[in-house]
Structure formats: C-alpha cells, structure tokens
Amino acid sequence: MNKPALLVVDDDPQVLAAVRRDLRGRYRESYMVVSAASGEEALATIRELKARGDALALVISDQRMPGMQGTDLLAESRDTYPQARRVLLTAYSDVDAAIKAINVAHLDHYLSKPWDPPEECLFPVIDDLLDGWQAEYLPEAKGLRLVGHQWSPRSHAIKDFLAGNLLPYRWLDVERSADARTLIAAAGIPTGELPALFFEDGAALRNPEPRQVAERLGRSVSAALNLYDLVIVGAGPSGLAAAVYGASEGLKTLLLDRHAPGGQAGSSSKIENYLGFPAGVSGSELTRRAVAQAQRLGAELLVPVEVTGVSIDAGYKHLTLSDGREILTRTLVAATGMEYREHPAAGVSTYTGAGVYYGAATTEASVCGNQKVLVVGGGNSAGQAAMHLSRYASDVQIVIRRDSLRDSMSRYLIDQIEKTPNIRLCGRTEVERVEGGDHVERVALKRDDGAIVVQDVNAIFVFIGTRPRSAWLPDAVLRDDKGFVITGRDLPADGRYARTWKERREPMALETSAPGVFAAGDLRAGAMNRVASAVGEGSMAVRFVHEYLALT
Ligand SMILES: Cc1cc2nc3c(=O)[nH]c(=O)nc-3n(C[C@H](O)[C@H](O)[C@H](O)COP(=O)(O)OP(=O)(O)OC[C@H]3O[C@@H](n4cnc5c(N)ncnc54)[C@H](O)[C@@H]3O)c2cc1C
C-alpha cells in the first residue's frame, strides 16, 4: 500500500505548483502529494485512490474554479473518504462564502491566499489536521478488530469504550462478515463467547470487560502516588480543564473517569459554539487535544476507574473505587456531570444496547446505513445526533412532545435539520412501546390525541431526561432536590447549611458544603450545561483549590 495521500486542487498552475512544493517539502516522508487542476479531475483522482486501496488524509481545494467549485468538490469527497480533512483555499473576497460553506462542505479549515510564510500560515494548520486524521486512521491490515453480534449490548459496550477512549478499531459483524467468521474460527472462539477483541499480534480477548481491554493496551488503571494534592472525578470538559490547570500549576493531579475522557461532549458529533473553532469541532477531537494537553502538563489519567464513595478524615479525602481500592487526596473536584435517565416506555430496558441507545449516536451511526432510526428528544444534543445519523440512515425521525423545536434547540441546528431531506419531525408524540426479536424492530408512537401508530424502526437514540451523577458523594455534600450539587454562595441559603458547614470562613465559589471538595460543570446546581461553561468552571475550581491548600 502507498503512503496516505494529500490532494491539492487548483486551476491556477502557479498556485497549484506552490502548494504542491510547500507540502512536498514538509510532508513527503509520510505522505504522497497528488494534485488536480479541476474539481472533476480531483474526483477522478479520488476514485483512483480508492480503487487502489490508498488512504486520503487531506484535500486542499481552491474555491473558484471553472466547472465544479471547491466547496462542491469537498462535499462530494466525503462520500468516498469521510475521515479525510478538508481545507478550502480562498481569496479574501471569498471568506464569507467559505464561512457559509462550513456546514455544507464539512470544512475543517479555510485558508486565505497567500499563505506566506508557510511555516506560520500553512504548516501549523496542516500539522494539526493531519494529527487529528492520524488519530482516527486505521490501516486495513493493522490495529484492533472487534468481532461480535450487531445487536449485542456487550458488543455495544466495548464499541462505546473503544470509541470513547479514541482507540481506532474495525468492527466486524459476525453475521455479515466472512472475515469475522474466519477470524474466530482460526482462534477457536465459539459465537457464544463474542464479542472478541483481536489485537495486532493476533491475540484475542473473549467477551472482555473494558478494564481488561485497557490493561491489555498498556493503559494505567492504578494510581501512581499514595497522596495527591488534587483528584478530579470525571474527565468531561470540566474535569479535563481542571486537570490542565492543576497539573500546569504544579499540583500532583489525578484525573479519573469511569468510562472514557470527554464526557457528554465526547459523544457530540460536532460542537459548533466552542470558542476558537469556526468550523466546529467534534467531541472526540476536542477530547483528544485536551487529554494530550493535560498529560503533557503532568496530570495522571486513569480510565476506566469508577469512584463509588468518599469519606473525609482530618481534611483528607479517601476515595473508594468500584473494585475496592482507595485513593487519598487533599482536595477533590467533583466533575461527574449528567447522564440520561432511562426512558420509561415498555420494552426500552429489554433493548438497551440492542437497538436502543442513550446518547451514543456517534458510536452506532456507521452501522445504521440505509436504516430507519428514531431520535427521541428536542435539545441540541438530539439535533446534532439527528444531523449525524442523517449521513448514514435512510430515514431519521425526531420524536418530541412539543409541536416544534423552536424553544428547545438552537436556530443553527433547526436550520440544518430543515434543509436535510431525510430528517422528519414528529411533534406532539411520545414513544409508547418498543418491540422486536433479539433487537429493536418496531416502535409504537402515541400522539397527544391518543392515537397509536406502530412503525418499523431499526434503532432508537434517546436524548431526554438527564440526572446528575452525584450518588457517589458523601451526605456532607449538600444537593438540591434533583441531586445537583450546591456550591458557594448558594449554600448559606439552604436550611441544612448551619448543620453541615462548620468552618469559620464562608464556602468559596464552587466549593461544596464539604471543605476542600469542589464541584464543576453540569453536576453543579445552576450550571449552564455548555462545554465552555464546564471548561470555565473546571479551570476556576483550581484557583480555589490553591486557596484551600494555603489554608490547611
Ligand atoms: C450529544 C451532546 C452534544 C452536546 N453538544 C454541545 C454543544 O454543541 N455545545 C455545548 O456547549 N454543549 C454541548 N453539550 C453539553 C456539554 O457536552 C456538557 O455541558 C458538558 O459535557 C458538561 O461537562 P462536564 O465535564 O460537567 O460533565 P460530563 O461531560 O457529563 O462528564 C462527566 C464525566 O464524569 C464521568 N463519571 C461520572 N460518574 C463517575 C464516577 N462515579 N467515577 C468516575 N467518573 C465518573 C463520566 O463518565 C463522564 O465522562 C452536548 C451534550 C451532549 C450529550
């Protein structure tokens, strides 16, 4: 197989030669640079690369070309190489058009001409995009292969763990893939012991727990120190931000997560409102960057590790883990966010993981090809999921109780949904019942006039009813009636405060009613439920951690 390709497209021979020269100069060791003088020629090149089995990492295209425009080419290239990064070359006068085309063409970046000097204006952008592509790219014959039954909850759990932890893997459905059957026959694994995870060296784990997978991949699941300055529970945006600040400011910092870094944001197919990413950023890309940053600055990350309890003794916080081990710390940031509440309709619990998924649209989307899927919920997370699923499924139906998305979803998402022909809105409706054999096959929907309609459906993605993950915290940490953690100035107003808070000082902002235990992000009562606010609170919490440590 050839090196992965970088494709440059421009009808101006001088510009084409200049980009080609710059890219070859820097990337020829690892990539082959190919070029085309028009959109049509570029599409032919893309087809050729595909036919040869070559990988395409990046397409850089000029916008204004006779015939096919750059944005159209970039949009079309997605069908053949969905993971390739897409960059539009624009003149200053076309920047507005480029911004408007971000969604349509799924642009990762736009570059204004000229890009001199390339060391400052071109290479940093391309380096960053290629890093992101490399993190997702899996050469045909290499890497992890997961063999299992499509509708098995166990297979879903491992897929979700691998995807959440940014471990590229190839999914092989044992019913559909001859390779899968050959692989398990050669390893002597009966289908009753699936899923099986095959490693590059040919070894396999049968029906593994996520923790076994992490250990087999050499990931640390045990704490290195006996005592930490700061332990952060939950590696969503707020926990990751706290880890970056804690470690960069010299605190012995440990970050734990029961599932994978990224939290809810990690499951987002595209976050469009986080500052500094004009073309949007996927949750997995943001997580990849944040994890690299936290670890580079010295934070220790343990995944999957679940905290089940905390006891506090003479200011020291003893965390109990689900496997009975303990971790000791001087301060604690609780950043365990929210999770979706189980949908109450009949049949939902039977099919969870076998066609009913909670917030897992990115993990399962690629196997929804030409299928009918339902998205339940009208918030931004549901809207993003519907947009993402519409690229794979033939029919995406959004089911909501209200009659419109107007009051629950951002305008930019409503606009995108309205322009997507295979997404339908089904208002004033609820899921009444889910039915099927070994996986979801039908759903009964109830309209607000009482009428029930039964429809064939292959998968249901649930995005309603969130609850805080606060059950692991001790009673000394006061929560509101929904379970969200009360912090800072909101504490004195609570009737239980005087009985609970025994310090001479007032609680600091983000401090809970247990001194030295802070809460950040969606877990906190009054949180904004945004990536940016979670990141802000995680960063702020570390400032108060310092103040607390200075007092003790
Ligand atoms: C699909 C989707 C799309 C979204 N899109 C956007 C968007 O475009 N823009 C935006 O601003 N916001 C968006 N949001 C909201 C945003 O993602 C959240 O507000 C944000 O992730 C909250 O961050 P957090 O760190 O507080 O908590 P979370 O992201 O919920 O992370 C909490 C982490 O804690 C871990 N954890 C829980 N319990 C334990 C335990 N006992 N032990 C160890 N670890 C534990 C969990 O595994 C999880 O990783 C979206 C949310 C979803 C679900």
What string of pLDDT tens digits covers the 552 residues of the chain?
689 999 999 999 999 999 999 999 999 999 999 999 999 999 999 999 888 888 999 999 998 899 999 999 998 998 888 889 999 988 877 777 777 777 777 888 888 888 888 898 899 999 999 998 998 887 765 789 999 999 999 999 999 999 999 888 989 999 988 888 988 988 999 999 999 999 988 899 999 999 999 999 988 889 999 999 999 999 999 999 999 999 999 999 999 999 999 999 998 988 989 999 888 899 999 999 999 999 999 999 999 999 999 999 999 999 999 999 999 999 999 999 999 888 999 999 999 999 999 987 788 887 788 899 999 999 999 999 999 999 899 999 999 999 999 999 999 999 999 999 999 999 999 999 999 999 999 999 999 999 999 999 999 999 998 899 999 999 999 999 999 999 999 999 999 999 999 999 999 999 999 999 999 999 999 999 999 999 999 999 999 999 999 998
Cis peptide leading into 168, omega within 30 of 0? no
Ligand 1 centroid to Cα of residue 266, in Å, is 7
Ligand 1 centroid to Cα of residue 339, in Å, is 8
- Alpha-carbon gap, residue 260 to 391, rounded angstroms: 25
Ligand 1 centroid to Cα of residue 258, in Å, is 12
pLDDT at 99: 79
Residue with tokens 């076998």: 354
> What is the SS3 assignment for 158?
helix
Token duo for residue 44: 């032919």
pTM of the model: 0.86
Residue whose CA is closest, atom 22 of ligand 1? 522
Ligand 1 centroid to Cα of residue 197, in Å, is 27
Contact 429, 420 (CB under 8 A): no
pLDDT at 46: 93
Token duo for residue 49: 């690369």
pLDDT at 140: 66
pLDDT at 1: 67
Ligand 1 centroid to Cα of residue 265, in Å, is 5
Token duo for residue 3: 């090196």
- Test site for ligand 1: of 264, 284, 410, most ligand atoms within 8 A of the Cβ: 264
Give the helix ranges, DSSP H, for 377-490: 380-389, 411-418
Other CB atoms within 10 Å distance of the CB of residue 363: 18
Instruction: Give the number of the atom of ligand 1 that is nearest the alpha carbon of residue 361.
Output: 1
Residue whose CA is closest, atom 17 of ligand 1? 265
Residue whose CA is closest, atom 26 of ligand 1? 521
According to DSSP, the β-strands at 338-340 and 85-90 are: unpaired
**Burial label, 336 (beta-carbon count in 10 A; 0-12, 13-18, 19+):** buried
Q: From 71, 52, 66, 46, select the one nearest 1 (Cα to Cα).
A: 52
- Alpha-carbon gap, residue 42 to 65, rounded angstroms: 12
Give the phi and the psi of residue 351 in degrees, each rounded to 5: -105, 10
Residue whose CA is closest, atom 37 of ligand 1? 336
Instruction: Give the number of the atom of ligand 1 that is nearest the alpha carbon of residue 238.
Output: 25
pLDDT at 365: 83
pLDDT at 111: 86
Ligand 1 centroid to Cα of residue 514, in Å, is 23
pLDDT at 90: 85
- Test site for ligand 1: of 305, 487, 517, 531, most ligand atoms within 8 A of the Cβ: 531
Residue with tokens 């020291």: 316
- Alpha-carbon gap, residue 169 to 214, rounded angstroms: 14
Count of alpha carbons within 13 Å of 170, Cβ hemisphere only?
18
Contact 524, 487 (CB under 8 A): yes
Contact 218, 264 (CB under 8 A): no
- Alpha-carbon gap, residue 339 to 381, rounded angstroms: 12
What DSSP element (H or E) covers 58?
A: strand 56-62
- Alpha-carbon gap, residue 180 to 174, rounded angstroms: 5
Ligand 1 centroid to Cα of residue 336, in Å, is 8
pLDDT at 110: 86
- Alpha-carbon gap, residue 173 to 104, rounded angstroms: 32
Residues in the chain: 552
Residue 511 carries which DSSP code? B
Contact 227, 329 (CB under 8 A): yes
Contact 382, 409 (CB under 8 A): yes
Q: From 11, 18, 12, 14, select the one nearest 33 (Cα to Cα).
A: 18
Give the phi and the psi of residue 100 in degrees, each rounded to 5: -65, -30
> What is the SS3 assignment for 235?
coil
Residue whose CA is closest, atom 7 of ligand 1? 271
- Alpha-carbon gap, residue 541 to 245, rounded angstroms: 9
**Burial label, 433 (beta-carbon count in 10 A; 0-12, 13-18, 19+):** middle
> What is the SS3 assignment for 294?
helix
Give the helix ranges, DSSP H, for 370-505: 380-389, 411-418, 497-500
- Alpha-carbon gap, residue 159 to 222, rounded angstroms: 23
Ligand 1 centroid to Cα of residue 531, in Å, is 8
Q: From 64, 86, 89, select the one nearest 74 (Cα to Cα).
A: 86
For 510, residues 6+ apart whose C-beta sits below 8 A from its C-beta are: 487, 488, 518, 519, 520, 524, 537, 540, 541, 544
Residue 222 carries which DSSP code? S
Ligand 1 centroid to Cα of residue 241, in Å, is 12
pLDDT at 424: 96
CA distances from 129 to 32, 47, 84, 179, 222 (A): 16, 22, 9, 32, 33
- Alpha-carbon gap, residue 360 to 407, rounded angstroms: 24
Which protein residues touch ligand 1 with a CB less than 6 Å away?
233-239, 256-259, 263-265, 267-268, 271-273, 306-307, 335-338, 359, 380-381, 384, 469, 472, 521-523, 529-532, 534
